[in-house]
Structures are given as C-alpha cells and as structure tokens.
Amino acid sequence: MPTLTITNIRRPGSEKSETLTVENGLIKGWNIKPEGEIIDGNGATLVPAFIEPHAHLREPGQEQKEDLASGLAAAAAGGYGTVVSMPNTSPVVDDPAIVRALIEKAGRLGFARLRPAAALTRGQNGEQLAELSLLAGAGAAVFTDDGRTNENARTLRLGLEYAHSLGLVVSVHAEDAGLRAGGVMNEGAVSEALGLPGNPAAAEAARVARDLEICAMTGGRLHIQHLSTARALDLVRGAKARGVNVTCEVCPHHLLLTDEALRSFDAVYKVAPPLRTQADTEYLLAGLVDGSVDCLATDHAPHTRAEKERDLLEAPSGIAYIEIAFPLLWTHFGKGLGLQKLVELLTVDVARVLGWPAPELEVGQAADFTLLDLDTVRPVQPETFKSKAKFNPWTGQELRGWPVLTVVGGAVAFRRA
C-alpha cells in the first residue's frame, strides 16, 4: 500500500498546522518528512473516521434501493470509515456464508469498511436462534432482528445469553408490535388532527422495560436502537443506575424533526420508530449532553423514490442521509455539544458500545480518519449523493461541517472535489 501524507491539517481545538503520514495502513508519524502521495488538507480538522452502528445497505436482494458499492461510498462521503449493516435483507443475513461474502465484496470496493450484523433468529422469525457461533466466526459484529421486534421474550433471553458467551452485543428494535398496531406516525395531537393511525410512545417504553428486565436477568449486553421517546430514555437511565448492561443510540432525525412534519403528508418523514414531539427531541438532546445516550447512529434506510411517493399508509419507513449526518449535527448542535463531544458520539462511544478498541490518531494505529471543513457553507444537493436514495427532508438546507477527505486503512476512500 503506497505511503500517503496529509499536510496543512489541524487537530480539534488547535490552530497549529500539522502533517500526518501513513504507511501500510497505519499511522507512521506526525510532522515527519512528507513521503509518497501528498495531499493538502487546506486547514481542515482531522478526526477519527466515524463509525456507523446502524445502517441498511440493502444487499443482498434489495439492490434497487442500495447496494454495498453505493452505500459504502455514501458512508465514506459522510466521513464514516466503518459501517455495521443490518441483516433484514433478502435473503436475511443469517448464514455465515452470506456474512463472509459481504465482507469480501466490501473489501474489494475501497470505500468504508463493512462489519455486518447478523440476524439473531433464523429468517428473523423471532423463534429459533440463528447459528450465532458460526456467524460470529464468519465476522458478524452484532446480532439483531432489526426491522422486526422480538416478540418472544424467551428467545431474546437465550440470544442475550448466547451472544454474551461470544463477547457480542444484541441490539433490538424495541417496540411492542401489539401497541404499535398499524400506526404510521406518533400517536398524539397531530395524528388525531390528520386522522392517521398513531404509534404511541408507550409502544417503545413498554418494550424497552421488558427488554431491560431480560437483560438484567441474563447479564448479557443489550443495545437499544433508535431511541425516540423521553419515557424510554428514563427507563434506560434507571436501568443503568441499577447496573444493567445496556446502551442506547439516538438518530439525528429524532433530534431534528417532529411529528409536525407529517402535516405535509409527505412519506419522506415516515420512519420507524416515528418522529415524536418537540418535548421528546429536547429530552433526547439533553440525554446526549449528560451521557444517558451512548452514541449516535443514522439508521440510514434508503428506499426508491417510487416507494416513498406512496401515501403514508402504504409507504415504507426510513430516511437515507448518511452523507450529511455530520453536517446536520454540526450545524444544528455543534455549539451546544462542542466538537470533541460530537466526534466522540460518532467514534469512541460507538466503539465502546460494540466492544471494539477506541480509535486513536497515534503512531502505529489504524489510519482511519476524516478531514472536516467546519466553516464552509454548502447546500444539501441530493442529486450529487453517492447513495441511490437521492432525496431527503433537508434538500437545499445550507450546512457546515462537510467531510472533505476520508481515509480508511491508509487509502483514500473519499475526496470531495
């Protein structure tokens, strides 16, 4: 692998211009004599490459929505060096051969690194555990039936126990299917005004409460995906205080958007769990600040435009925006959270949740990093996205904090023109 030197860069909080040299996929040194290909960083800020713990890349079987090439290229454009992909594909990722094939294909692409999640149960049917040991041996990073809720409490118990013996976490879409019923948006004043079936906050809270009890009895490691309500966060906070081994993530769209957006009847705002109230968004943001929320995830969920142009009752749930996640966060929350905290929520905190070593920009460490232009304002232009989903709620919005270079394993995975 050729040597690469990045000049004229800054570390967070410093105005000093520095140089970083990488060789054979590792950081060779800071401020040594430049070698190999030389790239001018133009004063951008260097941070560890982000880690995405929850993204839908749709391969195998749903490549009309996204595939490994488009999804991992989009991730690299967003500053992400590693992506954990969800297993609710067609076929489901419940076979070690599929895990290996995905990793091998992604490795040939040269974009973000792939760490597939595998299904907790066969076919994600919620009943019989998948071959967890074989899946872990093939490279599965997480076990989850994301896309479906785990209705059988005993199966989740066994999964937590088995996964814990393998040193892996079980992540869950915590939502009571019976209470959710056919809800397409948050149940409340807006859903009543629009005459749309609602999904109550209690659906999330009730399932979080159950799963926390199962986690406590097993001693396993539980991660709750895309937390969306204040009540559920209170339950997680209380469980942590009791020593339960639980973590949780929040997505930017649950911080930036509320159920008021559904007054447009535009299915681009339909997500699962749904957009909640302003009070919920403010409470989740406070949880990021005080550490109750462990990390940030995008739940990047691409669909075709035709699918999202259906009415709210029929359209699928999901927003695809991994390429603009950091600019959205930096523009709207940078002053409140600060750069160091925001980067930690996207890097070292994700690594801690997954049980991985914390990324460091030190000599001898993996050369996975991102250069951020924290000041230049650019509009969101979905037509330029690497993702196949070239639409989102923020089209045209002026944002700061754009990734300009992403290096993964010492090789350039993305460079902004």
Q: Which residues are known catalytic residues?
A: 299
Only one residue has tokens 């009943």, namely 127
Phi-psi region of 298 (alpha: psi -120 to 50; beta: other; left: phi over 0): alpha
Chain position carrying tokens 């195998």? 60
Give me the half-sphere count of Cα atoms (radius 13 Å) on the Cβ side of residue 77: 18
Reduce the DSSP state of residue 231 to 3 states and report it: helix
List C-alpha distances in Å: 242 to 157, 212, 216, 325, 390.
19, 11, 9, 33, 44
Report the DSSP beta bridge partners of residue 10: 45
DSSP 10: B
**CA-CA-CA-CA dihedral for 103, 109, 111, 115, to nearest 10:** 0
- Cα separation, 231 vs 191, in Å, equals 19
Q: What angle (nearest 5°) sits at the alpha carbon of residue 338, between those of residues 336 and 339?
A: 145
Of the candidates 343, 416, 410, which has an alpha carbon nearest to the alpha carbon of residue 25? Answer: 410
Contact call for residues 48 and 17 (beta carbons, < 8 A): no
Work out whether the CA dihedral 377, 383, 387, 390 comes out positive or negative.
positive
Q: Which residues of 236-256 are buried (b: 16+ CB within 10 A; e: fewer)?
A: bbebbeeebbbbbbbbbbbbb
